[in-house]
Amino acid sequence: MLACRIYSKGFLDVHLTDMPYKNSSYVRKTNRGSWLEENMEKAVEKVQAKEMSIGEASRYYDVPKSTLGRRKLDQNKFAKGSVKHLGRFKTTFDEELEEELVQYVKDMESRFFGLTYLDLRRLAFQLAVRNNVAHQFNENKELAGKKWVRLFMKRHPSLSLRQPEATSYARATGFNRTAVQKFFGLLTEIVDKYKFDGTRIYNCDESGMKTVQQKHGKVIAFKGKKQVGSMVSSERGKNVTVVCCTNACGHYVPPMFIFGRKRMNPVFMDHAPTSAKGFAQDNGWMTMELFKVYLEHFVEFVKPTKERPVCLVLDGHSSHTRSLEALDYAKANGVILLSLPPHTTHKLQPLDVGFFKPLQTFYDRYISTWLRSHPGRTFTEYQVAEAFSEAYGKAATMATAVNAFAKCGVWPLNPDVFSDADYSAAETTDQPQDVQTSTALADSKNKSHTGRSPHMFFCMQPCPQTNF
């Protein structure tokens, strides 16, 4: 929290002062104070060390002789050392109090309670009043001025105005230190036990590909026009689920398509990526039965064995964790299933972190180009595979996979990849979640096959004898 105490008057650069000129478009008419602070600092050091005279240092470092003389004797009222200060104006808050304000703004943002410009103006007024700091803020509105905010942001380039992303309470609190450390503990244990490298650690996840663009790029339009439109096939469109998978070295497994239909039409897979599979499901979602089919597809291309297993990192959706048939198949074929803690995929799942966004961008771009090239027609499920294939070819690169795994700390294995700021949102609630792990899941037979897994995450390792 910000301290509530009285500070002595401080100083800062006159060019960033809070006091406005009468004319906001004022242009300086002299070159006073145009010297560099770094040069002044060096000149003062040389003169004080008696290595140069004031005149020599002034000429060598290109600083005013009279100013250098005052800085050497510390005769200025406001400007100290090499800091510039022209005129009688100074900032409302001193350097120490303003730094506390900056830290407060950063702390609030890290907890997902970021301040708007209006919040910052209100906070600055309250801070000045509580600390008895002389100010010229608006007493009626109890707000600091807009120019104070602009100059405050200019004085602190580490701050910027950003558009925040909506983050649910569950996701904010789910990404907590306890759950993440437990996940990395399991991953470290697996890597050490089986001597894994990047070629044997995979991540798979589903993503929805709609028949309408999710985001439109900016277009050139008539200046002053109130509304600019972009053509789409329909208002909402249909969704096709695509399962993608890659390892930490950039080896991609051919994707699998799930169309929302009763029966599969082979035409849907025209121009799809090589060796991709397509299936029909009533809602177009991943199910326990289809996950078993995908594991067979995964084993076909990766070719793991019990002697040389691979680790497959995936989220804890019920279709992944409740299918006994799929879990048995994974065990028998050397696939170690490592589930992520809930509400952590936005930071721990490589495909979510570094792959799906560029994939969606290329996919939307293809749809826009297709609609422009086929006037009068709509983009349907029949063109999804072709559009995805084009986007997949551009997004599925080795660099994308390597960077995504590294950013999550999955490979190279780095349990300390996240800073304290990443956990601050969960620590705000002060309610750490209990983490339960299981290496056997022997009791899964008696549990329902719907809903999410009852434990945070699990690690299913291959073994000679199954517990089922």
Tell me, what amino acid is at 309? P
pLDDT given at position 70: 81
What's the distance, CA 299 to chain centroid? Answer: 32
Q: How confident is the model at residue 459 (pLDDT cuts 50, 70, 90)?
A: low
Counting Cβ atoms within 10 Å, is residue 183 exposed (0-12), middle (13-18) or buried (19+)? Answer: buried
Q: Residue 454: its pLDDT value, please? A: 35
Q: Sort 257 into a burial class: Cβ within 10 Å, 0-12 / 13-18 / 19+.
A: buried
| Mean pLDDT in residue range 275-279 | 96
Give pLDDT tens digits for 369-409.
999 899 989 999 999 999 999 999 999 999 999 999 999 99
Statement: residue 279 has pLDDT above 90:
yes
pLDDT at 21: 43
**Average pLDDT across the chain, whole number:** 82
Which band of pLDDT confidence, cut at 50, 70 and 90, is reported for residue 464? very low
How far is Cα 58 from Cα 65, in angstroms, rounded to an integer?
A: 5
Instruction: Reply yes or no on whether the pLDDT at 114 is more than 70.
Output: yes
Residue 214: what pLDDT?
A: 81
Q: Quote the CA–CA distance of 370 and 364 in Å, as a whole number.
A: 10
Give the dihedral sign, CA 66/71/75/79. positive
The predicted pLDDT at position 31 comes to: 77
Which of 35-39, 129-133, 268-272, 312-316 comes out lowest in average pLDDT? 35-39
Which whole number is the average pLDDT over 191-207?
95
pLDDT at residue 244 tops 90: yes
The pLDDT confidence band at residue 453, using thresholds 50, 70 and 90, is very low
Q: Choose between 14 and 361: higher pLDDT.
A: 361
For residue 440, pLDDT beyond 70: no
Residue 258 contacts residue 240 (beta carbons within 8 Å): yes
For the ranges 21-30, 112-121, 353-362, the maximum mean pLDDT occurs at: 353-362
Q: What is the arithmetic mean of pLDDT over 22-35? A: 69
CA distance 391 to 365: 9
Dihedral class, residue 270 (left if φ above 0, else alpha if ψ from -120 to 50, else beta): beta
The Cα–Cα gap between 327 and 336 comes to: 9
Alpha-carbon gap, residue 187 to 455, rounded angstroms: 17
| Residue 79, SS3 per DSSP | coil
Place of tokens 């299913």: 460
Identify the weakest region by mean pLDDT among 144-148, 315-319, 433-437. Answer: 433-437
Percent of the chain residues topping a pLDDT of 90:
50
Distance CA 392, CA 359 (A): 6
Q: Rounded to whole angstroms, how far apart are CA atoms 74 and 118? A: 40
C-alpha–C-alpha distance, residues 95 and 92, integer Å: 10
Stretch 198-221: mean pLDDT? 89
Q: What stretches of 194-251 adopt beta strand conformation (E)?
A: 201-210, 239-247
Domains of the chain: 1-32+92-164 (no CATH), 35-85 (1.10.10), 169-217+235-460 (3.30.420.10)
Contact 242, 322 (CB under 8 A): no
> pTM score, two decimals?
0.66
**Buried b / exposed e across 320-342, counting CB within 10 Å, b at 16+?**
bbbbeebbebbbebbbbbbbbbb
Q: Shortest CA distance to 300 belongs to which of 271, 329, 273? A: 329
Q: What mean pLDDT do residues 411-415 have?
A: 95
Most confident among 84-88, 251-255, 433-437 (mean pLDDT)? 251-255
Whole-number pLDDT of residue 205: 96
Q: Which of 387, 199, 214, 256 is nearest to 395 (CA)?
A: 387
Contacts of 48 (CB under 8 A, 6+ apart): 72
Higher pLDDT pick, 14 / 317 = 317
- CA 136, 142, 143, 145 torsion-angle sign: negative
**Tokens 């002060």 — which residue?**
430
pLDDT tens-digit map of 31-67 = 777 788 888 888 888 988 989 999 999 999 998 888 8
Residue 88, pLDDT score: 65
Residue 443 pLDDT greater than 90, yes or no: no
Instruction: Look at residue 355 and give its three-state secondary structure.
Output: helix
Of all helices (H) and strands (E), which one includes residue 395? helix 384-395
Mean pLDDT (whole number) for 5-16? 38
- Note the pLDDT of residue 228: 81
Of residues 172 and 49, more confidently modeled: 49
